[in-house]
A and B are shown apart, each in its own frame.
Chain A
Amino acid sequence: MEEDIKPDKKINIKGLVCPYTFVKAKLAVEDMEVGQVLEILLDYEEASRSIPKSMEDHGQKVLKVEKINDTDWVLVIRKEKE
């Protein structure tokens, strides 16, 4: 069900490495309203694990982590708190 959620915002952080992957993702979440959904496209494998973990540590909800091809991942995060 949650797979069909339409993101309110999309960011492409391909080419970025840690910690800038999370910096960009976090700043994007900060600019959104609680309840809105962010879709993140990235190609740095470590960030496909670290961003979901950090987002959960910060109280946000990870709806999806998906490897979409040889190089890229898509993460879907819902903002749960300011």
Chain B
Amino acid sequence: MQLEVDIESKTFENAAGGRQHVLAGINFCLGAGEVGVFVGPSGCGKSTMLKILAGLDHDFSGRVSRPAGARLGMVFQEPRLLPWRSVEENVRLVAPHADDAKLSALFTILELNAHRSHFPGELSLGLARRVALARAFAIDPDFLILDEPLASLDEALAARLREQIATLVGSRPVTTLLVTHNLDDAVRLGDRLFFLSARPARILADVPIRTPRNARGDAEIAAIKIDIARRINGDRIERDAS
């Protein structure tokens, strides 16, 4: 499934009555099964953009087209689990028809088997993120949105979760949109990188990565990063991302 996005502008009315211009020109097209990664400074309007793409906000000028009936899975920045339902119930709530074998496989990949009957309040942030990820994948999404899935996790935990995301995204073709401010994550996970400007956000550069995801060793990743830094004149992005 293909995602075509052309957001001309999005403005907010703030409390003082003034207008705030948040998005200025977000125009891209993501092919079926492609992983697009958005990198941009914090507060540039990434979350606003994701809300529009997820169909939660219709008040913008422009156009977003995704095929009707496409299943959307989303991992929000904060996990947004139901605290009064166990981990398994949280996943089953959105995917009532998912069979046990599939859920088991999913829980195994995300190492959640020991936590199935726990309540979200008993989980660490890293675990809760994994549950949110399990929930998004349980519905067999055609289109997946990940809003900073690795933010505020320590390096080791983030690396493991990144591996798990790569495994899941690789296991079936799903058009994925990932937002991050970490260039390293972007280069390791993305097929195409989009660099956003500061607010009002527009796409500064659209950089495809040709090397397949699982063939990217540390050397390739370093090379890709240098290439990106050269393309996007100067080292500004690298400084922001580190």
A and B part of one assembly: no
Q: Which residues of A contact B (CB under 8 A)?
A: none
Q: Which residues of B contact A (CB under 8 A)?
A: none
